[in-house]
Each structure stands twice: as C-alpha cells, then as structure tokens.
Amino acid sequence: MLSPEELEVVSLALRVALWSVLLSAIPGVLLGWVLARWDSPLRPLLHGLVMLPLVLPPVVTGYILLRGLGRSGPIGKAWEAISGGHIAYTTGACVIAAAVVGFPLLVESVRLSILGIDRRLELVSRSLGRGPVDTFLRVTLPLSAPGLFAGVVLSFARALGEFGATIVLAGNIEGETRQIPIAVYTLLNVPGGEAGAMRLAAVSVALSFGALILSATLSRRQARRSGR
C-alpha cells in the first residue's frame, strides 16, 4: 500500500500529465495536419523543430525553458509583470515541461494518422460544397481519431515519466513539483527510502505499460481502418 505522501506524488503526476495533454491537444492536432498536408519546402524545417524536444537531452530542454520562463527570462518577466507571480518552480512549470517533451509524440501520431487517410475523401467533401474547416472537422478528424487518441496516450505516458526538463524548470518541491520520477530519485538518496522508491516504480511501470497497451490497440485499429 502507498503512504499518504506517495499517493500525493502519484496524484500530482496524474494531474500534471492530464493537464499537459489538454494543453497540447489542439496545437498538436493542427500541427499534425499541417505536417501531413502542407506542401512546402519549409515543411521539413517545421517538422524538425517540432521533433527537436524528442531528441534533445531533457536537461537541455529544461534549461532552454528556464531561460525563457524563469524570472530573468523574457516570458517569465512579462508574466510576473502581468500576474505578479512566477512560472518556474511551480506545478504549472511541471505541466509546461511535460507538455513540451510529450508534444512531438502527439504531433507525429496525428501526422501519420492523417497521412493514412485517402485524400479523395477530403476532395469529395470539398466538391460537395464544404469548406476546408468543415472538411477537417467532419472528415479528416473523425477518420484520424484512433491515431489522435494513440498520440494522446503516448504523450500522457511520456509526461508521467518526465524527469530531466522538470527538475531544471520546476525543481523538487514536495507537494508542488515532486512527481513520481523525482520522488523515486529523492527516495534513493534517503536512508531507508528504497522501499518507497520500489512502490512508486511499480506504480510507474503499471501506468506506463497500460498506456502503451492502449496506444498499441488504437494504432492497430487505425491500421485496420486504413487497410494496412
């Protein structure tokens, strides 16, 4: 059984992962559609920029975010002037870090899902008088839904396991930024903390494995729908 402190860690991790996915969903779908349908020489550049957090060391990603969102950063200064608060070392910073590192997985899943849709269906919709937005909402989005949900699940799982960017941007504050990976790291450096670390690790494995199974199931459904 998890202790109250461990339950708090798990609850915070789940909330952060959920909010990171909600923050990423709309821009992720739009960017996935642009990368699948935009015929431009600039598309590879945009694709590379979107995928960059996936290949950068997470600590580097966190440092870049801290430079922009910290109190001395341009966005951080502007936010403090407007709201009187700060972004770094808060639960919101955890959400931002998780959203950034999980964003490429969501975009790529949406992109591949839309690429698997027969473009003739969209052309038929346009020939019947529907505009591009209506066609996207009524044709493209429903057909790509399994891939979209798979991307959401993968992004959620990645957010649950985020450590490097979070520890740099949000720190290790109990009850506010200490999620499962950070709590495990903390417990491993505390005498007698190994049992708690093992329990949290087991929870992390169970949640991540369940998310991967769900993502694989949705991907297979998308493949069957595309006839592959």
Dump pLDDT digits (tens) for 35-52: 998 888 999 999 999 999
- Which pLDDT value is given to residue 98? 95
Q: What is the share, in percent, of the chain residues with pLDDT greater than 70? A: 96
- Which pLDDT value is given to residue 16? 95
Q: What is the pTM of this model?
A: 0.88
- Which pLDDT value is given to residue 93? 94
How many C-beta atoms lie closer than 10 Å to residue 72's C-beta?
A: 10
Split at pLDDT 50, 70, 90, the class of 8 is: very high
Q: What is d(CA 206, CA 198) in angstroms, rounded to the nearest whole number?
A: 12
228 pLDDT above the threshold of 80: no
Residue 66: exposed, middle, or buried by beta-carbon count in 10 A (0-12, 13-18, 19+)?
Answer: buried
Dump pLDDT digits (tens) for 183-226: 999 999 888 889 999 999 999 999 888 888 887 787 777 666 65
Q: Which two structure tokens, joined as six digits, stand for 210? A: 């369940």
- Which pLDDT value is given to residue 226? 55
- Which pLDDT value is given to residue 225? 61
Please give the C-alpha separations between residue 70 and each of 62, 65, 67, 103, 174, in angstroms, as whole numbers.
Answer: 11, 8, 6, 21, 20
- Which pLDDT value is given to residue 208? 85
Q: What is d(CA 165, CA 52) in angstroms, rounded to the nearest whole number?
A: 13
Q: What is d(CA 224, CA 218) in angstroms, rounded to the nearest whole number?
A: 10
First to last CA, the chain: 44
Radius of gyration of the chain (CA): 20
Q: What is d(CA 111, CA 118) in angstroms, rounded to the nearest whole number?
A: 13
- Which pLDDT value is given to residue 117? 86
Dump pLDDT digits (tens) for 117-146: 888 888 888 888 888 888 888 888 888 888
Domains present along the chain, CATH in parentheses: 4-226 (1.10.3720.10)
